[in-house]
Amino acid sequence: MSDVPINKRRSGSNLSVPNADALDKAADVEGRSLWQDAFRRLKANRAAMISAIFLIVLAFICFVGTAFVPWSYEEIDWDILEATPPNFATGHYLGTDSLGRDLLARILQGGQVSFLVGILATSVALVIGVSVGATAGFVGGRVDQFLMRFVDVMYAVPLMFFIIILMVVFGRNFYLMFLAIGFVEWLTMSRIVRGQTLTLKNKEFIEAARASGGSTTSIILRHIVPNVFGVVIVYVTLTIPQVILLESFLSFLGLGVQPPMTSWGALIAEGAQEMEITPRTLILPAVCLSTTLFCFNFLGDGLRDALDPKDR
Amino acid sequence: MTSVLEIDGLTVSFSTPDGDVSAVSDISLSVDAGECLGLVGESGSGKSQTFMAALGLLADNGTATGEIRLDGIDLLSASEKKLNTLRGERIAMIFQDPMTSLTPHMKIGRQLSEVLIEHQNVDTKTGWARALDMLNRVHIPAAERRLDMYPHELSGGLRQRVMIAMALMCEPEVIVADEPTTALDVTVQAQILDLLTEVKDNLDAAIVLITHDLGVVAGLADRVAVMYAGRIVEQGTVGDIFASPAHPYTQGLLACTPRLDVETEELITILGQPPNLQNLPSGCSFHPRCTYVVEQCKSERPALEVMNNGHIKACFRPHVEA
Amino acid sequence: MSDAFLQVRDLKVHFPIRTGGILIGRYTPLKAVDGVSFDLNPGETLGVVGESGCGKSTLGRAVLQLIGATDGAVSWLGTDLTSLNKKELIAARENLQIVFQDPLASLDPRMTAGDIIAEPLLNYRSTMSKAERRMMVEGIMERVGLLPRMINRYPHEFSGGQCQRIGIARAMILRPKLVICDEPVSALDVSIQAQVVNLLMDLQRDFGLALLFISHDLAIVRHISHRVLVLYLGRVMELADKAALYATPRHPYTQALLSAVPIPDPTQERNKDRILLTGDLPSPLNPPTGCVFRTRCGKATDLCASQTPKLERAGDGQEVACHHWKD
């Protein structure tokens, strides 16, 4: 064994050897994070990308478009006072509803409400759900028991009933509705986050963080939250359509937004009453609503595939 | 001696989102009946994929080209049906992790006898009797009771014995053992190695032992092939490889393995990192880590060169017998 | 003994395992570590060997108090770590670090190498400026053999060996006095193992570290350790200086372990006498009475079943827990 390539260099300093350096010639200095990888995969998913672009465009039209429509959503065209077909001369590009209000303006305004509900209520659910779930999962023990039993109890309360009571007690308030829906939707979120946290908690890098002197709060913020974020973001995109649907249902029941303000759900409710005479007033908002839901679901699926390529 | 299994110019590549990756590039090997071939390499060297290809067990995105002949039958062009009759009956595999390769919800007896029922058309009773006989042959204590047990009720060592029993059921001509002892503790590993030695001495089967552990190879193999970055870099008898390794990689591997029988002052290391298969170095794949590198190594790939006694190496540097 | 560095006395870690009961569970203690004592001196390496399930990883974590001890004491520079509250413990950990087995799993996949290595600095040197931190991180990266320009890369972009270097850099950046190495090389390829072992030995020499080196690989332990502790089912079988343990193993279990390791030399490997142990490790939930090794031991007698052997001196710097070591 005298002929062995004896390398007496210590491993710690071997990077000064030029050919070892050559190994990393291809290395670029900036790393590519898991997020960037996921985004790259998402970009390759055509259905999800089309959905995302469509949603952005639709939201943009809803929020900006109202400025370019000649009529406002609450304005009654006293010359008409009934449902009319599209008429470019009067500026009712999609016609009017039974009270003579411009349908396009109302659909756009309804879209604003639906998007706002979707995003705000989901944010409420996100904040509560992630903090409760991560705390319960990471701290464990009695805290976990208490929080999760509380969630169980909340699950047992009939949701519709809960929202209806809130609406009746506090009156129909636009923002209360966001809060009410958010309060209902955080339950599942907290369970998902807790489950993820439990698996993460036993990972060695959490133990490593504790050994490096991290406190509980800093570990939750620095390690747990960023790592559950992938799952959470998928769930968020799937919660938004649920919330929009829930709001529509409430509005359909007459518990949602207050007239003359409207939402897609309220428009559908109004349209449904006249669907035999003017199917347009039902079909147009219904198409908007279902395409939006469809796109959110597609985007959610795409995100799930992109963030967790192993499960595909 | 005749070769039972011959691999000729085998290339295995996988298509990934980042492009095609060659796990195995143009390798040729043969194993004789009654012989044990040790296939040594580190993770990613392609040692497992070579035989996964032979058994038709490549992942969906993998393709194999070249020829793998079992007793003259080309396995790569064989139909799935034909492969099914060959697998288990004439070529069997022992995996690293017995827990994942045994069906969790089936009793041991049934799993063992099913191999026979499928391939040799025996009835259930004979199947179970032969299964019991086989469990005794691999020295499983209280074998009769074990037939009625499920895999999770057995310890790691016993499960690996069951795996070996299953591989031996049809008395195949070729047994491929892929890291058979890596998941086991040292003392249990010693028991399993003992059993494998017994199997080797008593059967006329060709055994392929895939491992990263040079100690395991030293104890069992007759011939050794060393793989690096998807290619065979050296091949020879176990005596030649250990006493007079010709390729710098083999020399380095032997030198950097700490030994129980020798006190070493400082471990000798192989520099750098294992190669990235997606971005292999030009010329000889080992050249960035090699101490004897010359200009030729960077541009040209050394061909396999036969020395005396069937000892083969892929290196430009002339070999000096130790 | 007041100036002792690390003293572990009769350390016990028992995990309650639910073994029955419908509403109110019935629990049986799993004795992962059961009465382990040893000392560690500055700059010394103590190897801890044993098979899976022998409690060696639990022992390492219990020394750091990452897992609470059921009983016994871990005294570090005179203070008993088991008696400290959360805050004091975090303060004490500045000098105690750990390197894990799985190099990739021990790094947060969403953080860059630089952030991972800098994490202890955020916790213990919070007044440090960003630039100072970066300088320290780059310094330690160079020291452990990583290119400082890879500071912004993510763990999945490194090979296993490089990930382990990141883990080592994180453990070393505070210049701790004791580092627990929990199987730091067993997940690495052979050619990389030697690099990491040499790196650890280098760092130990330069920083005057004490190492608790946990491994199942007796050959590597022989290479790196000064003294070796052999564990079986949570109990110490033998504790001896390296030379004594490998030359004259006294405990039947140590003898069997040593003879079971395959030697990379065909002639030796085929001609050596192996002591084959029968059977498998007994369940730690229900360990044998008396000496825990007796069920697999060739020398076991009635005495072994009734009486637990104590660690006793068996030569210079060698202690063994066996009734029959003289036979």
Instruction: State pLDDT tens for residues B17-36.
Output: 777 888 999 999 999 988 99
Tell me whether residue B308 is exposed, middle or buried, using C-beta atoms within 10 angstroms of its C-beta: 0 to 12, 13 to 18, 19 or more: exposed
C-contacting residues in B 172-191 (Cβ below 8 Å)? 185-191
Q: Is the confidence at residue A232, as pLDDT, over 90?
A: no
pLDDT of residue C46: 95
Q: What is the mean pLDDT of residues A219-226?
A: 87
Contacts of B271 in chain A (CB under 8 A): 7, 9, 14, 17, 19-20
Chain A neighbours, 3+ Cβ pairs < 8 A: B, C
Contacts of B267 in chain C (CB under 8 A): 194, 197-198, 223
pLDDT of residue C214: 94
Q: Does A4 touch chain B (CB under 8 A)?
A: yes
CA distances from C101 to A29, A85, B274 (A): 27, 72, 19
| Token pair 């500055």: residue | C42
Q: In CATH terms, is domain C6-111+170-232 a member of 3.40.30.10?
A: no
Average pLDDT, chain A: 78
CB B275 within 8 A of CB A18: no
For chain A, the structural domain boundaries read 45-83+101-311
Backbone φ/ψ region at A122: left (φ over 0), alpha (ψ -120 to 50), beta: alpha
Task: Give the list of residues 6+ apart from residue C139 with CB closer than 8 angstroms, or none.
Answer: none
More confident residue, B133 or A72: B133
Measured between CA atoms, the residue of chain C closest to residue A17 is C145
More confident residue, C114 or B103: C114
CB atoms A4 and B279 under 8 Å: no
Q: Does B139 touch chain C (CB under 8 A)?
A: no
pLDDT of residue C133: 92
Note the Cα C45 to chain centre separation in Å: 10
Which of C110, C152, C196 lies at the smallest CB-CB distance from A226?
Answer: C110
User: What pLDDT digit, counting tens, does each position of A119-148 carry?
Assistant: 888 888 888 998 899 889 988 888 899 999
Q: What are phi and psi of B81, to 5 degrees?
A: -65, -45
Which of C195, C265, C280 lies at the smallest CB-CB distance from B218?
Answer: C265
User: What pLDDT digit, counting tens, does each position of A240-259 carry?
Assistant: 888 888 888 887 777 777 77
CB atoms B288 and A41 under 8 Å: no
pLDDT of residue B309: 80
CB B221 within 8 A of CB B297: no
Q: What is the mean pLDDT of residues B75-81?
A: 87
More confident residue, A13 or B306: B306
Measured CA to CA, the distance from residue A304 to residue A237 in angstroms comes to 10
Give the residue among C260, C223, C268 at the shortest CA–CA distance from C243. C223
Give the residue among A213, B97, A204, B188 at the shortest CA–CA distance from C57. A204
Poorest-pLDDT segment among A29-33, A83-87, B48-52, C151-155: A29-33
Q: In CATH terms, is domain A45-83+101-311 a member of 3.30.70.660?
A: no
Taking only the tens of pLDDT, chain C with its 327 residues reads 445 789 999 999 998 887 776 777 778 888 889 889 999 999 999 999 988 888 888 999 999 888 888 899 999 888 898 888 888 888 888 899 999 988 888 999 888 999 999 999 999 988 889 999 999 999 999 999 998 888 888 888 888 889 999 999 999 999 999 999 999 988 888 888 999 999 999 999 999 899 999 999 899 999 999 999 999 999 999 999 999 999 999 999 999 999 988 888 888 888 888 888 887 788 888 888 889 999 988 888 899 989 899 898 988 889 999 998 887
pLDDT of residue A16: 32
Which of B260, B263, B268 lies at the smallest CB-CB distance from C261?
Answer: B260
- pLDDT > 70: percent of chain A: 85
Kindly indicate the confidence band of residue B314, based on its pLDDT and cuts at 50, 70 and 90: very high
DSSP state of B257: S
More confident residue, C46 or A227: C46
Average pLDDT, chain B: 87
User: What pLDDT digit, counting tens, does each position of B281-312 carry?
Assistant: 889 999 999 989 999 999 999 999 888 888 99
Neighbours of C15 (CB within 10 A): 16
CB atoms B292 and A5 under 8 Å: yes
Measured CA to CA, the distance from residue C163 to residue A290 in angstroms comes to 48
Q: Is the confidence at residue B253, as pLDDT, over 60?
A: yes
Q: What is the mean pLDDT of residues A168-185?
A: 77
Measured CA to CA, the distance from residue C222 to residue C190 in angstroms comes to 16
Q: What are phi and psi of C312, to 5 degrees?
A: -130, 155
DSSP state of A98: T
Residue A260: cis peptide before it, omega within 30 degrees of 0: yes
CB B134 within 8 A of CB B165: yes
Give the residue among C98, C19, C45, C36 at the shortest CA–CA distance from C70. C36
More confident residue, B227 or B156: B227
User: What pLDDT digit, counting tens, does each position of A33-80 carry?
Assistant: 777 778 888 888 888 899 999 999 988 888 887 777 777 777 777 777
Tokens in use for A287? 């198409």
For chain C, the structural domain boundaries read 6-111+170-232, 249-327
